[in-house]
Structure 1
């Protein structure tokens, strides 16, 4: 539309200009020969129209150059009119034709055309090229231009043509038409039709525009009309006429301005009041992309962001908005009543209800109006209610609670979902009182009815009950619960609301617990060990029958009294300190076997073995103590110790009896040699030989005699039963004596014995005889294994070395076949032998293990990777030079 109007304006000016080119007066003024459009004015309108066309085509440079022509024409015309200097520009075209025209300055554009050139050029350049002229200001300029042209046209029609008084402010018909078309094109192009909406819109402003615009166009014509009447009738002199017209124009302008100011001020006050009211609400105006264009004071108070911080930013990005359902909030989609979660400036998270509405204005980009309501508390309340309901549902489901309501007049019963199924009855069978009564044990029904009767009689608020449901499968389920009673004004029971809980399993557990408790009490009463239960204050709570027999007290005499009465007086403080230590640290007593001394009612003391268990109940600590009398056990152990000594002695005697033949053969050699030496010496004496030879024979006989005595001494020492004597002994001498004792008479077996003795461990703290007994047992086992193995390499190694824990380790290894795995697992048990069937009693290694453990050491056996067995035992070490 703007393009069509601008093109028509250009064609109109060209048509009028062709009247000068073709010398057709009718075309110059479109029928008004006395008011033609001047050539230079026509060129100005043509360039002005072309400039608008170039601006529409976004040819800003071309538009700017074209608009320079009308601008130059207007400035030169105004300059010549104001200063009176004739620049010769008026008659630069068609001077001969212009000389025939009447008027003060033929060819010079009039004031109306010059003003139109200036206004339309300024408006087009500012709005179309530089973009700094708003639509409202451009509309105002175009409207002023229209008013000037319209006033001039009306003035010409009223006063007629050819009058000198009107030539200055007159306008030709072609110029008026071109001006109107160009002003209309500008309004269409840059004012975005706001004036159309102002004239037709439903707001109160249209009344002001409808009155003000005609008044501004028509009232200024009235003084000019009055002037024409006065001049035509010669009513006043010219000076007074001009003064009167000027005064009237001033009054008209003042009246229009006053009326406009009053109406605008009144409307502005109303708008200000409305704006202040709206500004207190949480109102946000954004573009369709979510960019904030208006941020109310209510939004500042709600979100904490100021206007300067909010305007220009994306609302949803600024507030980090998200939808609690699909989390798809953005600035493009709008829905009425959308709930959002937004973040305030201080990090606080709030819930809002956003109602959005798109507002479209003619000539303006659509805006989105967001009305925001803070629903944080409401959402929190709803969420709390929801959580409470879910918690109640979960609690009732977890505890298998049933909720019911009984309407007494109608007998209707309503149950919470799932209650009837949990009770094991058919859903709907408990819908009324009669159905309930048919499912409950008869005696329980009567008991519940009696409870309800007492409740109604006493006007009690609630009552409790317990009854059993009969199931179709033949079983029963026990329930219990309580109900709230509601009465009418006369005290009649109207309804009850209550809960029931299935306690069948609890009832069964309690019955089973009672049975187990009775059984446990029976067991505790018959257990052979005495049992005493005390609390954390050492007060006796239970005293079993076995405890009565052990101490000689009756249970009634000791219950409630301190447990220290059961131990000797000199050990009571230790008992209390041990109990206090356990209560503070949780260590000791429980899980340990403690030996001590108890005191009976008659003052007799006896050894005991104590095992303790602890239990915590209701913040209290209960200790269950099992006490065993060790008197018989200690006597038995003492007798066993004596028997072990006897067995060890017998074992040594048995070993010596097995070695008797070898010893006899071994003793025979030194004794025979001694006899031979003595016989030879006697013969030399009888022959009177020299004394040196006789002395040598006597010395050799003496050595053989000593050798036989040493063998007998070792045998007697090994066979001696005496008491155990722990003292410092030589490791080397003890090992070698035991080895020489066991090697007597074994030369024919070709068994080699080697020693690897650590010089850093020369002494041990032990009983030499018992250690030698262990070595003899181990060496005999090794020799037996080597003699029956059939191997050519028969080797026994005896080694010793010092351990890091101040112990000496002695190892006896052989190159025999090793120990069978099934024997190795229980090698040191009694009656387990390494010699096969009939090879021995199987007590030698057991005795050896007890001897080593009595010395504080350990005895172990293993098979060597290269073959053979290895026995290791440890003994306490003594530093050289220690006493």
Structure 2
């Protein structure tokens, strides 16, 4: 080597005189020397070895890029070798590989999470669809159950659930058995009379259930309001008599037909008027007025009672599930919630307001339907 500049000396860690006395290939690791020697002996344009392991004076190894070209001078040909320190580049490459590896790990981890989430969502969607199907399949059964619960609450003299009289019957039966064993027949007979009274009350519930618990068709058809009101009055007749109330039904002179499910509409009317009967309890005037009118494509049915009305803050809350202002044992607070859902399912509305002259008014709207053909 005839000339070595300061940058090369600094890069390789040799003194100038020391390096001039060396062979050029000695500046590289043994396994790299063959490549360097082959390139030095090659004629032609500049040749670049992109990555070669150079050996520094202290024995450490560094990566360098070697460019070898030929200079034609007056004194002959000379080799011009340029060394580029690529340690920084290699560090960047290493950091880039690490970042890429971390990214791939993250992507893989995220992909696993996404796959797991996707599977969970698929399961949840399937479960949701299954739940929706089950809800649709059991909707009529739930409505039937709601009917029976409502009728149980409205039965003459009954303000408890069916399990309460059943429990009382069991208690009276146990008492009667014990009293008969002690020959206290008069006391036993009294217990049996209580059982008879309770079973009679339950029989009344069953009789009303048979009238009202027939299955719904689920279809919206033209339903006349008159027979709906007649059914409501028939079912509630015992409660109306017991409450000493007056129920006035005022329908248009021309029959009004609404698009509805007759059984469901009967349930709604029984529930609304039944609630009104509770509202007028203890009032000097116990009157419930049911009116109906058709305005264009909408029919309006109003149930107006002479009760104390509804506290303003509860006018919407009364339709919430399990909301009730009745004393314990007189209802679960589901009647109005179910009634609103039924009415909305028939493309109608159900709301409550207070009359300026006193009492509450429940307003039911339903689409008007054309009268069915005669004989249809």
Q: TM (normalized to structure 1)?
A: 0.23
In the TM superposition, what is the alpha-carbon distance from 1:879 to its structure 2 partner?
Answer: 2.0
Cα–Cα, structure 1 residues 812 and 881, in superposed 2: closer, same or farther, change >3 Å?
Answer: same
- Structure 2: how far apart are the matches of 1:738 and 1:720? 14
Q: Counterpart of 1:50?
A: none
Structure 1 residues not aligned, in runs of 5+: 1-521, 527-542, 553-599, 601-605, 607-627, 664-710
In the TM superposition, what is the alpha-carbon distance from 1:744 to its structure 2 partner?
Answer: 2.2
Which residue among 532, 546, 570 is the counterpart of 2:114? 546
Q: Counterpart of 2:218?
A: 724
The answer to whether 1:802 aligns with 2:294 is yes
Cα–Cα, structure 1 residues 785 and 661, in superposed 2: closer, same or farther, change >3 Å?
Answer: closer
Cα–Cα, structure 1 residues 722 and 859, in superposed 2: closer, same or farther, change >3 Å?
Answer: closer
Q: Counterpart of 1:764?
A: 258
Q: Counterpart of 2:228?
A: 734
Is the contact between residue 222 and residue 257 of structure 2 (CA under 8 Å) also seen in structure 1?
Answer: yes
Q: Counterpart of 1:777?
A: 271
In the TM superposition, what is the alpha-carbon distance from 1:813 to its structure 2 partner?
Answer: 0.9
Q: How many residues align?
A: 221
SS at match of 1:865: coil
Q: Counterpart of 2:368?
A: 877
Deviation string, structure 1 residues 812-852 (Cα, Å, up to 9, x no partner): 11111011233223111111114244431111111111101
- Structure 2: how far apart are the matches of 1:855 and 1:828? 17
- Structure 1: how far apart are the matches of 2:239 and 2:249? 20
Cα–Cα, structure 1 residues 770 and 827, in superposed 2: closer, same or farther, change >3 Å?
Answer: same
In the TM superposition, what is the alpha-carbon distance from 1:546 to its structure 2 partner?
Answer: 3.2
SS at match of 1:808: strand
In the TM superposition, what is the alpha-carbon distance from 1:637 to its structure 2 partner?
Answer: 2.9
Matches within 5 A, 1:485-496: none
Is the contact between residue 761 and residue 808 of structure 1 (CA under 8 Å) also seen in structure 2?
Answer: no
Q: Counterpart of 2:285?
A: 793
The answer to whether 1:755 aligns with 2:262 is no
- Structure 2: how far apart are the matches of 1:649 and 1:857? 20
Q: Counterpart of 1:832?
A: 323
Q: Counterpart of 1:634?
A: 129
Q: Counterpart of 1:813?
A: 304
- Structure 1: how far apart are the matches of 2:361 and 2:128? 36
- Structure 2: how far apart are the matches of 1:813 and 1:754? 10
Cα–Cα, structure 1 residues 544 and 778, in superposed 2: closer, same or farther, change >3 Å?
Answer: farther
Deviation string, structure 1 residues 640-690 (Cα, Å, up to 9, x no partner): 445554443223223333455479xxxxxxxxxxxxxxxxxxxxxxxxxxx
- Structure 2: how far apart are the matches of 1:876 and 1:662? 37
Is the contact between residue 755 and residue 797 of structure 1 (CA under 8 Å) also seen in structure 2?
Answer: yes
- Structure 2: how far apart are the matches of 1:777 and 1:641? 23
Q: TM (normalized to structure 2)?
A: 0.51
In the TM superposition, what is the alpha-carbon distance from 1:720 to its structure 2 partner?
Answer: 2.0
Cα–Cα, structure 1 residues 854 and 843, in superposed 2: closer, same or farther, change >3 Å?
Answer: same
Matches within 5 A, 1:411-560: 545-546=113-114, 549-550=117-118
Is the contact between residue 761 and residue 877 of structure 1 (CA under 8 Å) also seen in structure 2?
Answer: no
- Structure 2: how far apart are the matches of 1:745 and 1:785? 13
Cα–Cα, structure 1 residues 644 and 823, in superposed 2: closer, same or farther, change >3 Å?
Answer: farther
- Structure 2: how far apart are the matches of 1:855 and 1:547? 42
Q: CA RMSD in A?
A: 3.4
